[in-house]
Amino acid sequence: MIVTSVSRPELLDRDGSDRDFRHMVYDLLTVGVRMQEVRDRLAAEMEVSGPQYGLLMAIFHLQDEIGGAGVGAVARQLHVSGPFVTAQANRLVVLGLVEKRPNPDDGRGVLLCLTGDGMQRIAQSLPVIQRANDAFFGSVDRLHFVALSDLAASLEESSGQAVRMLKELSEPG
Protein backbone atom coordinates (compact mmCIF):
# COMPACT_ATOMS: atom_id res chain seq x y z
CA MET A 1 0.00 0.00 0.00
CA ILE A 2 1.30 3.44 -0.97
CA VAL A 3 0.89 6.17 1.64
CA THR A 4 0.84 9.70 0.21
CA SER A 5 0.72 13.24 1.53
CA VAL A 6 -1.85 14.27 -1.11
CA SER A 7 -4.98 12.60 -2.43
CA ARG A 8 -5.79 14.63 -5.56
CA PRO A 9 -5.02 12.51 -8.65
CA GLU A 10 -3.54 15.55 -10.43
CA LEU A 11 -0.79 15.65 -7.85
CA LEU A 12 0.10 11.96 -7.85
CA ASP A 13 2.64 10.15 -10.02
CA ARG A 14 1.48 7.49 -12.47
CA ASP A 15 2.38 4.80 -9.97
CA GLY A 16 0.17 6.45 -7.32
CA SER A 17 3.05 7.79 -5.25
CA ASP A 18 3.58 11.43 -4.31
CA ARG A 19 7.33 11.45 -5.01
CA ASP A 20 7.17 14.25 -7.62
CA PHE A 21 4.83 16.28 -5.40
CA ARG A 22 7.21 16.06 -2.44
CA HIS A 23 10.15 16.99 -4.67
CA MET A 24 8.26 20.04 -5.92
CA VAL A 25 7.38 21.10 -2.35
CA TYR A 26 11.03 20.87 -1.29
CA ASP A 27 12.05 22.89 -4.36
CA LEU A 28 9.45 25.56 -3.56
CA LEU A 29 10.60 25.71 0.06
CA THR A 30 14.18 26.20 -1.13
CA VAL A 31 13.10 28.92 -3.56
CA GLY A 32 11.21 30.65 -0.74
CA VAL A 33 14.22 30.54 1.58
CA ARG A 34 16.50 31.84 -1.16
CA MET A 35 14.03 34.60 -2.08
CA GLN A 36 14.01 35.65 1.58
CA GLU A 37 17.82 35.63 1.67
CA VAL A 38 18.02 37.76 -1.48
CA ARG A 39 15.52 40.22 0.01
CA ASP A 40 17.47 40.39 3.27
CA ARG A 41 20.75 41.01 1.42
CA LEU A 42 19.15 43.73 -0.72
CA ALA A 43 17.72 45.24 2.48
CA ALA A 44 21.18 45.26 4.02
CA GLU A 45 22.42 47.15 0.94
CA MET A 46 19.87 49.83 1.84
CA GLU A 47 20.62 49.59 5.59
CA VAL A 48 17.10 48.48 6.52
CA SER A 49 15.47 45.22 7.60
CA GLY A 50 13.88 42.77 5.16
CA PRO A 51 10.31 43.83 5.99
CA GLN A 52 11.31 47.49 5.75
CA TYR A 53 12.85 46.85 2.33
CA GLY A 54 9.60 45.28 1.17
CA LEU A 55 7.66 48.28 2.42
CA LEU A 56 10.02 50.76 0.74
CA MET A 57 9.75 48.95 -2.57
CA ALA A 58 5.95 48.71 -2.33
CA ILE A 59 5.67 52.44 -1.61
CA PHE A 60 8.10 53.18 -4.45
CA HIS A 61 5.93 51.25 -6.91
CA LEU A 62 2.55 52.35 -5.54
CA GLN A 63 3.20 56.10 -5.20
CA ASP A 64 0.94 57.92 -7.58
CA GLU A 65 -0.19 61.34 -8.64
CA ILE A 66 -1.78 62.08 -5.26
CA GLY A 67 1.61 61.88 -3.63
CA GLY A 68 1.80 58.57 -1.87
CA ALA A 69 0.55 55.07 -1.23
CA GLY A 70 -2.25 54.26 1.19
CA VAL A 71 -1.55 51.90 4.06
CA GLY A 72 -4.28 49.53 2.83
CA ALA A 73 -2.83 49.40 -0.69
CA VAL A 74 0.64 48.62 0.67
CA ALA A 75 -0.79 45.95 2.98
CA ARG A 76 -2.64 44.30 0.07
CA GLN A 77 0.46 44.42 -2.14
CA LEU A 78 2.60 42.75 0.53
CA HIS A 79 -0.13 40.41 1.87
CA VAL A 80 0.29 41.73 5.40
CA SER A 81 -1.94 43.57 7.86
CA GLY A 82 -2.48 47.31 8.02
CA PRO A 83 -1.09 47.49 11.57
CA PHE A 84 2.10 45.75 10.38
CA VAL A 85 2.50 48.34 7.61
CA THR A 86 1.90 51.15 10.09
CA ALA A 87 4.49 49.81 12.53
CA GLN A 88 7.14 49.35 9.83
CA ALA A 89 6.30 52.73 8.27
CA ASN A 90 6.77 54.41 11.64
CA ARG A 91 10.27 52.92 11.84
CA LEU A 92 11.02 54.16 8.32
CA VAL A 93 9.77 57.63 9.27
CA VAL A 94 12.27 57.65 12.17
CA LEU A 95 15.02 56.63 9.70
CA GLY A 96 14.03 59.54 7.45
CA LEU A 97 13.15 57.31 4.49
CA VAL A 98 9.35 57.66 4.53
CA GLU A 99 6.99 60.45 5.40
CA LYS A 100 3.30 60.42 6.13
CA ARG A 101 0.91 62.86 4.50
CA PRO A 102 -2.81 63.32 5.00
CA ASN A 103 -4.88 61.43 2.46
CA PRO A 104 -6.98 64.01 0.60
CA ASP A 105 -9.54 61.30 -0.25
CA ASP A 106 -9.85 59.99 3.32
CA GLY A 107 -9.61 62.42 6.21
CA ARG A 108 -8.66 59.66 8.65
CA GLY A 109 -6.10 57.97 6.42
CA VAL A 110 -2.51 58.75 5.59
CA LEU A 111 -0.42 58.37 2.49
CA LEU A 112 3.06 56.96 2.72
CA CYS A 113 5.66 58.48 0.46
CA LEU A 114 9.38 58.18 0.10
CA THR A 115 11.55 61.06 1.21
CA GLY A 116 14.43 62.27 -0.91
CA ASP A 117 16.73 60.00 1.10
CA GLY A 118 14.38 57.06 0.57
CA MET A 119 14.32 57.66 -3.18
CA GLN A 120 18.11 58.04 -3.22
CA ARG A 121 18.66 54.73 -1.42
CA ILE A 122 16.43 52.93 -3.91
CA ALA A 123 18.06 54.66 -6.88
CA GLN A 124 21.53 53.69 -5.64
CA SER A 125 20.42 50.09 -5.04
CA LEU A 126 18.53 49.59 -8.32
CA PRO A 127 21.51 48.22 -10.28
CA VAL A 128 22.08 45.54 -7.62
CA ILE A 129 18.33 44.85 -7.34
CA GLN A 130 18.10 44.40 -11.11
CA ARG A 131 21.13 42.11 -11.23
CA ALA A 132 19.80 40.00 -8.36
CA ASN A 133 16.33 39.68 -9.91
CA ASP A 134 17.77 38.95 -13.35
CA ALA A 135 19.96 36.20 -11.86
CA PHE A 136 17.19 34.79 -9.65
CA PHE A 137 14.80 34.49 -12.58
CA GLY A 138 17.47 33.87 -15.21
CA SER A 139 15.99 30.52 -16.23
CA VAL A 140 12.52 31.99 -16.86
CA ASP A 141 11.48 32.97 -20.39
CA ARG A 142 8.39 35.10 -21.14
CA LEU A 143 6.05 32.13 -21.59
CA HIS A 144 7.12 30.61 -18.28
CA PHE A 145 7.02 34.02 -16.59
CA VAL A 146 3.35 34.45 -17.49
CA ALA A 147 2.56 30.90 -16.36
CA LEU A 148 4.54 31.33 -13.13
CA SER A 149 2.82 34.64 -12.38
CA ASP A 150 -0.60 33.06 -12.83
CA LEU A 151 0.39 30.02 -10.78
CA ALA A 152 1.86 32.16 -7.98
CA ALA A 153 -1.37 34.16 -7.74
CA SER A 154 -3.38 30.95 -7.65
CA LEU A 155 -1.13 29.39 -5.01
CA GLU A 156 -1.26 32.57 -2.93
CA GLU A 157 -5.04 32.16 -2.74
CA SER A 158 -5.14 28.39 -2.15
CA SER A 159 -2.28 28.52 0.38
CA GLY A 160 -4.30 31.07 2.36
CA GLN A 161 -7.22 28.65 2.36
CA ALA A 162 -4.95 25.89 3.68
CA VAL A 163 -3.68 28.12 6.48
CA ARG A 164 -7.21 29.12 7.46
CA MET A 165 -8.33 25.47 7.43
CA LEU A 166 -5.43 24.40 9.66
CA LYS A 167 -6.10 27.28 12.07
CA GLU A 168 -9.74 26.19 12.34
CA LEU A 169 -8.69 22.60 13.01
CA SER A 170 -6.34 23.68 15.78
CA GLU A 171 -8.87 25.89 17.54
CA PRO A 172 -10.45 24.32 20.62
CA GLY A 173 -14.10 23.39 20.58
The larger pLDDT score, comparing residue 104 to residue 12, is at 12
51 and 84, same domain (yes or no): yes
pLDDT digits (tens, 9 = 90+) for 55-68: 999 999 999 766 78
Provide the sign of the torsion angle of the four alpha carbons 32, 85, 75, 119, taken in this order: negative
Query: Is residue 135's pLDDT more than 80?
Result: yes
Same domain? For 156 and 106 the reply is no
Res 32: pLDDT: 96
Domain total in the chain: 2
Would residue 3 count as lying in a domain?
A: no
What was the pLDDT predicted at 17? 95
Cβ atoms of residues 66 and 104 within 8 Å: yes
Higher pLDDT, 123 or 108: 123
Q: Does one domain contain both 101 and 134? A: yes
Mean pLDDT for all residues in the chain: 94
- Residue 41 backbone phi and psi in degrees, to 5: -70, -40
77: Cα separation from own chain's centroid: 7
Q: What percent of the chain has pLDDT over 90?
A: 89
125 and 41 housed in the same domain:
yes
Give the per-residue pLDDT at 65.
Answer: 66
Sign of CA dihedral 10, 14, 16, 18: negative
Give pLDDT, residue 54: 96
Domain that holds residue 150: 140-173
